[in-house]
Amino acid sequence: MDKSKQILVSGGTGFVGSYLLRMLLAQGYTNIRAIHRKTSRMDLVSTIYDQIEWVEGDILDVLFMKDAIQDVEQVYHCAAMISFDPRRFEDMRQVNVEGTANMVNAALQAEVKKFIHVSSIAAIGRPKNGMLIDENTKWQRSKNNSQYAISKYQGEQEVWRGYAEGLNMAIVNPSVILGAGFWDDGPLRFFKLAWKEFPFYSLGQTGIVDVRDVSRFMIQLMESDISGERYILNGSPISFKNLMFRISALLGKKPPRYQVNTILQEMAWRIEWLKSRLFGGSPFITKETARLSGQYFEYANHKSKEIFGFEYTPIDQTLKESAALFKKAVEEKPIPAKVLSV
């Protein structure tokens, strides 16, 4: 296997992208180019910064993408925006849909050999509460589809369009990705909530996957002959209550005590909305996150486990390692980003 081939990674400074870069290096790949914006935080890649060819630009810039993808054989498209704040929906659509379209078009023009797209379980849709969702589940319009889900679904359609036009591609659909990183971003906020002994829990259920498993699967998928397929990456189903209880125990904190019902959910997002208008910043709880937290979703993972003999990291190991790093982080001020070893 030629590990000197030119690789391009979008979103290399983000959660998934940064782990992918470190895992590529650990596996001996030597010719890696990564995109970052002028405002990107480099905390998660500080230890490997000098081993990567960094190009500064934006995937929304068509001319930049044409230059960035020159001589590239393999593309990992990790760049995405996650937001449940209504004020950011248009920005998110641009990044997740238009940005992906630009990546696909550039890859087609450059005749790259393979393109791996990081999508989301949200892009598969959530047709019915409690229904088992797999790679064959059809997208349906539903009140359970957040604006993030819609943007990822539409972005994924751009990748399928590229496939129809001759792009050799595959898609991964991770569930909720956990690990260590920026503790204020996305699902990693669960650790801060537990540390502050947040008193409420919901009865919803989702799936969890270790960020390192996502990166490892992507590399194996890239080096395979598989094309035109999607794979749900999901290590284990877990309820939000169980998740918060486990993290609280690992951090030595009191677990949540009060179950959130529909009335409290509706009150919570309205209060957060008002606070964000009065004091600025993004609301921690939005209308979408409040309502989704009470939903029960179950995701199949048999397709991903059937290829490569792939095995997922046990959820207890992911939480234990991440919680240990978080405890170290809170000893420093401000709380710094941390990364798990790959």
Query: Cα 178 vs. chain centroid, distance in angstroms?
Result: 9
pLDDT (0 to 100) of residue 278: 61
Q: Give the CA distances from residue 60 to residues 53, 95, 264, 265, in Å, rounded to whole numbers and listed in that order.
A: 20, 7, 39, 36
Where in the chain are the domains?
A: 7-178+208-235
**Torsion over CA: 330, 211, 122, 261 (sign):** negative
**Domain 7-178+208-235 is in which class?**
alpha beta
Signed CA dihedral, 85, 86, 88, 89: sign only: positive
pLDDT of residue 21: 98
Distance CA 281, CA 292 (A): 21
Total Cβ atoms within 10 A of residue 224: 13
Q: What is the total residue count of the chain?
A: 342
Alpha-carbon distance of 97 to 155, in angstroms, equals 4
Using CA atoms, how far apart are residues 135 and 223, in angstroms rounded to an integer?
A: 21
10-residue mean pLDDT profile of the chain (342 residues): values are 93 96 97 95 95 96 95 96 80 95 97 97 75 88 82 96 98 96 90 90 88 98 97 93 95 90 56 58 58 74 94 96 96 90 90
User: What is the reported pTM?
Assistant: 0.92
Please give the angle made by the CA atoms of 290, 121 and 234, to the nearest 5 degrees.
105
The reported pLDDT for the residue numbered 281 is: 62
Confidence at residue 85, expressed as pLDDT on a 0 to 100 scale: 74
